Structure 1
Amino acid sequence: MSIKAFAFDLDGTLADSIPDLAHAANAARRDAGLAQLEEALIESFVGDGTESLVARAMAADMSASFTGTAAQTEALGRFDQHYLEGLTLKTKLYHGVANTLNELHDCGYRLAIVTNKPERFTQPLLKELGIGNVFDVIVSGDTLPNRKPHAEPLQYVMEKLAVSADELLMVGDSKNDILAARAAGCKVAYVSYGYGAAESIPEADVTLARFEELMNWLEAQD
């Protein structure tokens, strides 16, 4: 195996963004006259895109789905406003992320973002975090017709970077990341510090307790 490119999830993999997502979700609930939710509960709603997060947060129910009702649409607009006003109030890169990404970039590896976060948040967040310049391809949740766990986002990355499935490693913290990688036929690294519940995560090719362990794993493949 010769890895030439990496596809990274964003929330829960590169950045701890739950505090600001929770702040925006609770602000949308407050606008609607609803009580505030615990941050841990909102964390459990993250991973399937903003519409899903808003639907779940407004209903305080993991099983809720976004159906485009007037109330949900209004809540989504409120969430967008609050979140864009505070993308990095508390959101930070995990330890070792900036250095590792720069090292990979400097070594000539091609890097991509594959997130279910909408483009309207992804681009400004990467800029505010100071890491946007290292990525050759950015695939957000609304870039393509399908998003993770579908294979299409990773297939798109492979096409844009001109690499095969054997040459791409997906790095993420959720079941969606692993399922997308398996569907696309590429290897996958699971970061155990993220938001995915470990007991619900399918088996990955490697598990990383810290992001910088990625370099050690990469060196061991040579």
Structure 2
Amino acid sequence: MSRLLPSLALSDLDAVIVDLDGTMVDTLGDFEVALNGMLREMALPAITRAQIRNMVGKGSEHLIRSVLQRVRGGRAPDEALAREAWERYSRHYLAVNGQHSTVYPGVAQGLAALRAAGLRLACLTNKPGAFAGPLLASKGLARHFDLVFGGDAFERKKPDPLPLVKTCEALGFMRGRTLMVGDSSNDAQAARAAGCPVVLMSYGYNHGESIDEVDADGWLDSLADLPPALLAGT
């Protein structure tokens, strides 16, 4: 059930930063097709969607290395193998980007309501920018955002706080008045370290761990629940 801590209210916020994979769009289908296309070309065993689910969240490079290690019996890939895999994966992902993914219920309504409430929105994801922008556009979500930053936009990725710090600077608002909305401990850790309040979606990936155990200011079953919950706290 959706719940926000009483300390979080619309009057305390100027902007919202929203994660992409597992927060707005269920992209496991795209990951599954692209990764298995990569593995097939490399004559490596296939990987299941359930296995992929627990590896998503720390960027495509980390995902590819984790997949390679898994299908190779625990042997970590060297740099040459990781580069080859990245090139093959990128080609496959760009070919299917958005075709096997779905927007979670309530996302479009929630984003529209947040903008109607006067908040500026930014999408901040560990997904490469070349993947993130087209995905948002294909799902009709790009129009809600003032800014979009991929995982290659800054020197480090979430859970490092730097991407949130830089995004708040680009939005022009204080970190304490900018809400992070995500689906995993990566988002929560980055937000806490940056000094941003954070709300987590209950349906996301979170590396196979319970989201209820992650330190946050709220937990939602639908992004559409966020605007009315924030107004209730005002």
TM-score, scaled relative to structure 1: 0.93
Is the 8 Å Cα contact of residues 57 and 126 (structure 2) preserved in structure 1?
yes
Is 2:111 the partner of 1:101? Answer: yes
Instruction: Pick the aligned partner of 2:90 from 80, 93, 100.
Output: 80
Is 2:199 the partner of 1:189? Answer: yes
Is 2:229 the partner of 1:217? Answer: yes
Amino acid aligned to 1:214 = L
Q: Kindly tell me: are residues 169 and 57 of structure 1, through their superposed partners in 2, closer, same or farther at Cα, counting changes over 3 Å?
A: same
Is the 8 Å Cα contact of residues 8 and 171 (structure 1) preserved in structure 2?
yes
Q: Distance in 2 between matches of 1:125 and 1:33?
A: 29
Shift of 1:106: 2.7
Unmatched tracts of structure 1, length 5 or more = none
- Superposed counterparts of 1:40-119, under 5 Å: 40-60=50-70, 69-119=79-129
**2:16 is matched with which residue?**
6
Shift of 1:103: 2.0
Is the 8 Å Cα contact of residues 52 and 66 (structure 1) preserved in structure 2?
no
Is 2:227 the partner of 1:207? Answer: no
Deviation per residue, 1:104-159 (Å, 9 max, x gap):
22332100111111111111111111111221121211101121111111111221
Q: Distance in 2 between matches of 1:201 and 1:11?
A: 20
Is the 8 Å Cα contact of residues 68 and 77 (structure 2) preserved in structure 1?
no
Deviation per residue, 1:162-200 (Å, 9 max, x gap):
211221110001111000000111100011110012168
Is the 8 Å Cα contact of residues 189 and 208 (structure 1) preserved in structure 2?
yes
Q: What secondary structure is seen at the aligned counterpart in 1 of 2:223?
A: coil
Q: Distance in 2 between matches of 1:107 and 1:133?
A: 16
Q: What secondary structure is seen at the aligned counterpart in 2 of 1:212?
A: helix
Q: Distance in 1 between matches of 2:102 and 2:178?
A: 26
Q: Distance in 2 between matches of 1:127 and 1:217?
A: 28
Amino acid aligned to 2:224 = E
Q: What secondary structure is seen at the aligned counterpart in 1 of 2:216?
A: coil
Instruction: State the aligned residue count.
Output: 221
Q: Kindly tell me: are residues 23 and 108 of structure 1, through their superposed partners in 2, closer, same or farther at Cα, counting changes over 3 Å?
A: same
Shift of 1:95: 0.1
Q: Kindly tell me: are residues 53 and 184 of structure 1, through their superposed partners in 2, closer, same or farther at Cα, counting changes over 3 Å?
A: same
Instruction: Pick the aligned partner of 2:176 from 163, 166, 186.
Output: 166
Shift of 1:211: 1.8
Kindly report structure 1 stretches of 4+ aligned residues shifted beyond 2 Å: 61-67, 199-202
Amino acid aligned to 2:23 = T
Q: Distance in 1 between matches of 2:169 and 2:136?
A: 22
Output the aligned Cα RMSD. Answer: 1.9
**2:38 is matched with which residue?**
28
TM-score, scaled relative to structure 2: 0.89
Amino acid aligned to 1:136 = D
Amino acid aligned to 2:89 = F
Q: Kindly tell me: are residues 201 and 49 of structure 1, through their superposed partners in 2, closer, same or farther at Cα, counting changes over 3 Å?
A: farther
Deviation per residue, 1:45-67 (Å, 9 max, x gap):
11111011111112216987675
Amino acid aligned to 1:203 = D
